[in-house]
Amino acid sequence: MACQSLTPCNNPSMRTVPFILALIMLGGCVSHSERIASSTNEIRQLASSSHDRFAAIGNESVKDSPDMPTIANQSEQGMNEQKRILTLTDRIYISLTGVEDETPAWFGVVVWICVALSVIGAAFLVWHLGLGRFISRWLALITPAERGKAQMAACLLDSDDERVKSRVMQMRRDDPVFDRAFRQVAPLGRRGKKEKKK
């Protein structure tokens, strides 16, 4: 008999311990968003109940002989509901600290597509409006077209025609980018002419 009284199964307080532990573990498994959702639903129900209680108090108070115990009971119940609402709001506030904003997986792809379309659109505008030539001149960039013109002009300088030489010199004075390209390719043009003479 003494052994039977010591077994955990026969002790009523010991039977509740696994149940309480299971409840604690299940409570710990609830996510922050689920906790916020359940608190919000409970707040909605409490607010609706409080609204009905305040309406009952208001209806009772305008009577010629109001039922004071009903008013007191409804008032006390309403205050309890408001306390519970404040507790749930604090719980939501605490749970919000554990919630993180998540961007969907497709959002990064959409951002890169938008960036690519923006770059393509900007390049098209630069080309279509003729800003590319303006920017290359402003940055003094030597484009392949400028290099080709400079190579052709360098080859023409070896000719005996003075009009061609003066025209090349005029182009060099008018266009600093062309002048830079010409200075880079002029030795190549003259070397090519000497090889032709051989």
Q: How far apart are CA 164 and CA 172, in angstroms?
A: 12
Most trustworthy range by pLDDT among 33-42, 45-54, 174-183:
45-54
Q: Is the same domain home to 36 and 26?
A: no
Task: Write the CB contacts of 149 (distance below 8 Å, at least 6 apart in sequence).
Answer: 178, 181
Q: How far apart are CA 79 and CA 74, in angstroms?
A: 9
- Residue 122 within any structural domain of the chain: no
Range of the domain at 6: 1-30
Task: Write the CB contacts of 116 (distance below 8 Å, at least 6 apart in sequence).
Answer: none
Q: Is the same domain home to 88 and 56?
A: yes
Q: Looking at the predicted structure, is the pLDDT value of residue 189 above 50?
A: no
Q: Is the same domain home to 20 and 50?
A: no
Q: Is the same domain home to 36 and 5?
A: no
pLDDT-derived band of residue 1, with 50, 70 and 90 as boundaries? very low
Q: How far apart are CA 155 and CA 145, in angstroms?
A: 16
Q: Is the same domain home to 157 and 189?
A: yes
The encoded tokens of residue 69 equal 């115990």
CB atoms within 10 A of CB 88: 19
Q: Is the same domain home to 152 and 191?
A: yes
Q: Is the sign of the CA dihedral 114, 119, 124, 130 positive or negative? A: positive
Which of the listed residues 99, 120, 140 is the one where a domain comes to its end?
Answer: 99
Q: Is the same domain home to 25 and 44?
A: no
- Residue 3 within any structural domain of the chain: yes
Angle at 171 between CA 170 and CA 176, to 5 degrees: 115
pLDDT-derived band of residue 198, with 50, 70 and 90 as boundaries? very low
pLDDT-derived band of residue 40, with 50, 70 and 90 as boundaries? confident
- Residue 172 within any structural domain of the chain: yes
Q: Looking at the predicted structure, is the pLDDT value of residue 63 above 70?
A: yes
Instruction: Report how many domains make up the chain.
Output: 3
CA distances (Å), origin 61, targets 51, 108, 138: 15, 61, 84
- Residue 108 within any structural domain of the chain: no
